[in-house]
A and B are shown apart, each in its own frame.
Chain A
C-alpha cells in the first residue's frame, strides 16, 4: 500500500462546478497535511495546509481532514479553467522529526472545461 494515495485522474469538471480531490494516507500518526498545485512544466506551489479534523476554507478552496478515516480532501468551488493543473497531496513522514520530510502522492490531474 502506498503511503499517500490519490486517484491520478484526469478529473474533468465543467466551469463553475465543484471539484473534489481526494487523498488517503496510511500512517495514523501523521499530523500535517498539505495540498500543492502544479501547472504543467512548473513547480508545485502550496495551496492549503490543514492540521485539525474538520474543514478549513480559503477563498474558493476548502480542505477537509478526517484523521479517523485517514482521509484528506480538497474542494474547489466555482471551478475555473485556470484551476486546471495537477494537485499533489502531501503528508508529514513518520519520524520526520525536525527534518521536515513529506510524503507526496502522485497527484490528481484536474481539467476544468469552459
Chain B
C-alpha cells in the first residue's frame, strides 16, 4: 500500500512565523505535490516536484516555497505566515513513467493550518 504521511494533522501559528510542512512517501514515487483546499475553491495546486531538487510552480505559488532534497520528502515552506494562508494543506505523490495509470495521485491525511 502506498503511504503518504504529513508531519502534523493540526498546526496553529502566528502571523509572520516561518512554517514548515513536511510530507514523506514510501513508494519511491518521482512526483510529489502540495495543494491547499478551501471551501468552495476546491483543490488548488501550490507547487509540485518531478524529481529531487526539481520544482515547478502550480496555480497559487505566491507566499510559498518548497524543498525536495530527498526523493521521499517534499517540504512546503510558508516564509511569513499570513491569516489568508489558513487552510487545509494536502500532499500527494505519484509515479512517473508515462504509462496510463501512473498519474494516480495518493494523498496524505492533510494538515489543517490555522494562522492567527
Residue positions of A touching B, CB distance < 8 A? 31-32, 34, 42-46, 49, 51, 88, 90, 92, 96-102, 104-107
Among candidates A45, A101, A104, A107, residue contacting B48 with C-beta atoms closer than 8 Å: A101
* Number of residues on chain B facing chain A (CB within 8 A): 28
Cα distance, A51 to B104, chains bound together (Å): 12
Q: Which residues of chain B from 21 to 74 have a CB within 8 Å of any chain A CB?
A: 30-31, 33, 40-43, 45, 48, 50, 56
Among candidates B40, B50, B101, residue contacting A99 with C-beta atoms closer than 8 Å: B50
Cα distance, A44 to B106, chains bound together (Å): 8
- 20 CB contacts below 8 A, A to B, read A34-B103, A42-B109, A42-B110, A43-B109, A44-B90, A45-B107, A49-B101, A49-B104, A51-B100, A51-B101, A88-B42, A92-B103, A98-B30, A98-B96, A98-B97, A99-B50, A100-B31, A100-B96, A100-B105, A102-B105
Which applies to chain B's interface (DSSP): helix, strand, loop or mixed? loop
Specify the chain B residue showing the minimal Cβ separation from A96.
B103
Decide if B85 is an interface residue (CB 8 Å cutoff). no
Cα distance, A106 to B104, chains bound together (Å): 18
* A residues in contact with B95, CB < 8 Å: 100
* B residues in contact with A90, CB < 8 Å: 105
B42 touches A105 (CB 8 A): yes
What's the least CB distance linking A31 to chain B, in Å? Answer: 6
Cα distance, A32 to B102, chains bound together (Å): 9
What's the least CB distance linking B11 to chain A, in Å? Answer: 15
Among candidates B50, B90, B108, residue contacting A100 with C-beta atoms closer than 8 Å: B50
- The interface centre, meaning the residue of A43, A44, A92, A102 with most chain B CB atoms within 10 A of its CB, is A43
B90 touches A34 (CB 8 A): no
What's the least CB distance linking A35 to chain B, in Å? Answer: 11
